[in-house]
Amino acid sequence: MKDEIEIFRGFIRKKGLRNTPERETIIKEIFATSEHFDVDELYLRLKRKRKKISKPSIYRLIPLLLEAGLIQEAYFEDGHFHYEHIYGDELHCHLRCLECGKTIEFKEKSLKRLEGSLAEEYDFLIKGHKLEVFGYCSKCVKK
């Protein structure tokens, strides 16, 4: 948990921006669980803990966390994004049920190789990837 804060501090310094207790509070809360989160839910979690953080502050922080590589968009559902934090290099891929929303995370190491060949073929500096596989889980197929 220390790590993410340190990474963020370094990121902020490099960008010439300023860190604030609000931002650190939000980041700590994001990394307090390993769950996915969305803005509203994160806001409520903070509220429950009597932290006085406004939603705009969360919305303003998210692009920074994305850019710093600390979180990524996991999927879009119910009209808004759901995010997840990234542990080092380990990007998750998601398998989701279109019916019940059940989500399974898996790793796919072959995508690293794919990134390498895309970088070369198209002359891109690759920063990451997002793979979503969707279908119906066994329970929902039975219905």
7 binds, among DNA, a second copy, none (CB under 5 to 8 A by kind): none
Is residue 100 near a second copy by the rule CB under 8 A?
no
40 binds, among DNA, a second copy, none (CB under 5 to 8 A by kind): DNA
The secondary structure of 56-86 as a DSSP string is HHHHHHHHHHHHTTSEEEEEEETTEEEEEE-
11 binds, among DNA, a second copy, none (CB under 5 to 8 A by kind): none
The separation between the first and the last C-alpha atoms of the chain, rounded to the nearest angstrom, is 42
Is residue 101 near a second copy by the rule CB under 8 A?
no
Is residue 59 near a second copy by the rule CB under 8 A?
no
Query: Residues 5, 28: contact at Cβ < 8 Å?
Result: yes
Q: Which residue has the tokens 């990474």?
A: 7
Is residue 114 near a second copy by the rule CB under 8 A?
yes
